[in-house]
Structure 1
Amino acid sequence: MAYHHKQSVDNSLGRNKADLILRGGQIVDVHSGRIKEGDIVVNGHRIVGLYDRSPAFVGSNTKIIDVSGKYVLPGFIEPHIHIESSMLTLTNFSRAVLPHGTTTVINDPHEIANVMGVRGVRQMMDEGHYTNLRFYFTIPSCVPSLSEEFETCGTFFSVEDIKSLLEEKSAIGLGEMMNYPGVIAPKIDVLAKIYETYRMRGFKKKPPIIDGHCPGLTGLELSAYINAGIMADHECSTGAELEERLAKGMFVMVRNGSYAKNTRELLEYVIENQIDTRRLMFCSDDRNPYDLLNKGHIDQTLAMAMELAKESGWKLKPFEIIRMATLNPAEFFHMPYRGRLGIGTRADITIVENLEKFNVWATLRNGELVAQKGHVVNDVQDYPYHENILNSVRIKRTFSVDDFQVRSGAKRQKVRIIEMIPGQLTTGNIIHKLEVKNGFLEADINRDILKIAVIERHRGNNNFSVGYVKGFGIKSGAVAI
């Protein structure tokens, strides 16, 4: 142990030559809120020199990268996402986001958990170690998401399953507790998941992390939910929800996903009411391949936030915005060596051309260059998935057009329709009259009323149902999800 500290001292004094020097960049200090030109010296995975330029660091094998005129920031942290919604493997997701400056991701794998159970989550965790991105995992708390009355699930997570997965090195806490009715009822089997997370993390002398999910919950019920041990929420869609959660002690993740887009409304409220941002973080929740390819990741959210701040006359300060993607999530997840640039911290570094659009010039992870000018470098091979988690869709029935017809004896029929709300995950419930043709209800493309079908795919029991939905905007064809 003493030898390790001697190495650290020698590294910072230049007695051991540096592996890498980032020369002459504008270093963004998220603690002081200042930008100062200087060098960053890296040895191994850590920063050993900051601001000071000395020939003592330079050896024959030292790599020097000129970053003059560019801004050097801590690597961006994604505090809550479901990688499955990107429809990418973890390896390909890493390839998509590393060029956008993301270096750490906290993944909640409850989609794969609902299909493949513990073995699917373990396989995903294993792949996480294999990539150039740093993955942590919150263990899914609600598998299945709904009871058997509402869905036929592929598997079921017991408290013992959660305890088993919490033993994994990359496990960081309990995933979003979607069953908030079960928490405040209270149901002992639901509370047991929270209790065991606290107990197991405490036993390992690691701080417990319990992620939340409580859209619309307010007042005494919100207080009870928080008092059960829930620490954060990413489901706020109004400023009032955000403010109440902060006032009652929660962290709030401000969501900018492909489907739920709450960032603009929430930040406008934060600016208007001058709310402190130290317990706010940016998250994606879900990010589809189109957005990853064409818009980016956390870098796009930063650019949006900076534009809003500029429109407000900088009532929201640039450093407040940057902290929401770096220091704030690092402190929430108790990662003292990430989310900031300091002596001894992990050399997870994002270099951008400006602090308006956050155009990422290069990304370093653990002191290694992993992306530059929009492309991955030093890539890894594709991960070899086990055969036992492939071919998980089990549909025995052959479907025909007739299976999706809805009979009616009327000429026009009142129908209950699911209404999608733009930028939100919650849906509305509306009634419309639909035409009947040859004894069957017709979809109405002109009013954007389409058929939607749910087909059981886990057990091959041939169950399916047909309904109607408004808001997709599809004029022809079909989509399978």
Structure 2
Amino acid sequence: EGHIDSLVKMAIGEGLDPITAIQLATINAAEYFGLRHRGAIAPGYRADLVAFDDFESLRIEKVFSGGQLVAEEGRIVPGPLKEVAAHVRGSVNVNWAGVNLKIPARGRRAKVIGVIPDQIVTEKLNEEVKVEDGLAVADVERDILKIAVIERHKGTGNTGLGFVRGFGLKRGAIASSVAHDSHNIIVVGTDDADMMAAVECVAAIGGGLAAVENGAVRARLPLPIAGLMSDQPLQMVREEMDELLAVAQEMGSRLHDPFMTISFLALP
């Protein structure tokens, strides 16, 4: 569906003047966020340009960044790759001795994050939790899974634990080093062993996404640049992402993109 262009098309479709719709997506946004020299075509402004055929279809033909053609007819125009600074690699630093995923039971009820499909806002639930041997554990039958956030920048060992409902996983765990806004490692799973295996996989690949089942890594996507970005061709990234989503669905996930959902759950 696109990105900002889809919102512009939606606004035009609802009757907003096309020029006003484009203004909202360009100069208005640039001025609001203090992005000087952006948002307009004028002397002294950065040449970030989008060329499209008409105001109805808003089909983008070409995209320029800093005056350079970077995309044409929906495809990236290959260009020279910039060397990535060494300090943005090797960003995963976990103090494994400090990581403990066990949650001591302090009663029968607990606060649970309620996921709303395709939304970044969540519900605050209060649910009865499953207790085994004095520990609060995941309750797969009721879709109450464990969630953990593990600090990955300074090796503090700090770990946040809780419960989440809405992922639908029946087995395994998924983990990611993309977790707004501090981007520590976040993991959701049905048992501690798979959760830890998923976290270890993310750390081993220098940051990224992982899906684990029965201790085995079923799919992964390395994001070695600050644990947030890939240095591989787009098509390869797309294929690995598709595999991750397929595996997550096989493990029971009902969400369209559980990795997108998990990336927002570390926010307060």
State TM-score, norm by structure 1.
0.31
What secondary structure is seen at the aligned counterpart in 1 of 2:10? helix
Q: How does 1:95-110 map to 2 (within 5 A)?
A: none
Corresponding residue for residue 22 of structure 2: 322
Give the Cα separation in 1 of the matches to 2:161 and 2:35.
46
Give the Cα separation in 1 of the matches to 2:92 and 2:47.
41
Write the letter of the residue equivalent to 2:94. Answer: I
Write the letter of the residue equivalent to 1:447. Answer: R
Gaps of 5+ in 2: 177-268
Give the Cα separation in 1 of the matches to 2:159 and 2:46.
50
| Aligned with 2:103 (options 406, 413, 425) | 406
Summarize deviations over 1:177-226 as a string: whole Å, max 9, x none.
xxxxxxxxxxxxxxxxxxxxxxxxxxxxxxxxxxxxxxxxxxxxxxxxxx
Write the letter of the residue equivalent to 1:393. Answer: V
Corresponding residue for residue 79 of structure 2: 379
Give the Cα separation in 2 of the matches to 1:366 and 1:440.
56
Residue 323 of structure 1: how far off its partner (Å): 1.0
Q: How does 1:199-238 map to 2 (within 5 A)?
A: none
Summarize deviations over 1:24-54 as a string: whole Å, max 9, x none.
xxxxxxxxxxxxxxxxxxxxxxxxxxxxxxx
Write the letter of the residue equivalent to 2:26. Answer: T
Corresponding residue for residue 393 of structure 1: 92
Give the direction of change, closer, same or farther, for the CA distance of 1:357–1:451 in structure 2 (3 Å limit). farther
What secondary structure is seen at the aligned counterpart in 1 of 2:129? strand
Residue 431 of structure 1: how far off its partner (Å): 0.9
Superposition RMSD on alpha carbons, in Å? 3.3
Write the letter of the residue equivalent to 1:371. Answer: A
Residue 433 of structure 1: how far off its partner (Å): 0.9
Corresponding residue for residue 8 of structure 2: 302
Residue 458 of structure 1: how far off its partner (Å): 3.1
Q: How does 1:153-302 map to 2 (within 5 A)?
A: 295-302=1-8
Residue 469 of structure 1: how far off its partner (Å): 1.5
Give the direction of change, closer, same or farther, for the CA distance of 1:365–1:472 in structure 2 (3 Å limit). same
Give the Cα separation in 2 of the matches to 1:409 and 1:346.
57
Give the direction of change, closer, same or farther, for the CA distance of 1:300–1:380 in structure 2 (3 Å limit). farther
1:418 counterpart = 2:124:
no
1:469 counterpart = 2:175:
no
What secondary structure is seen at the aligned counterpart in 2 of 1:320? helix
State TM-score, norm by structure 2.
0.52
* Same amino acid, percent of matched pairs: 35
Contact 1:353 1:361 in 2 (8 A): yes
Give the direction of change, closer, same or farther, for the CA distance of 1:480–1:347 in structure 2 (3 Å limit). closer
Please state which structure has a larger fraction of its residues in helix. 1
Give the direction of change, closer, same or farther, for the CA distance of 1:396–1:348 in structure 2 (3 Å limit). closer
What secondary structure is seen at the aligned counterpart in 1 of 2:85? coil
Give the direction of change, closer, same or farther, for the CA distance of 1:382–1:446 in structure 2 (3 Å limit). farther
Residue 297 of structure 1: how far off its partner (Å): 2.8
Give the direction of change, closer, same or farther, for the CA distance of 1:399–1:357 in structure 2 (3 Å limit). farther
Give the Cα separation in 1 of the matches to 2:143 and 2:48.
46
Give the Cα separation in 1 of the matches to 2:73 and 2:161.
47
Summarize deviations over 1:71-101 as a string: whole Å, max 9, x none.
xxxxxxxxxxxxxxxxxxxxxxxxxxxxxxx
Give the direction of change, closer, same or farther, for the CA distance of 1:452–1:390 in structure 2 (3 Å limit). same
| Aligned with 1:454 (options 149, 155, 164) | 149
Give the direction of change, closer, same or farther, for the CA distance of 1:360–1:474 in structure 2 (3 Å limit). farther
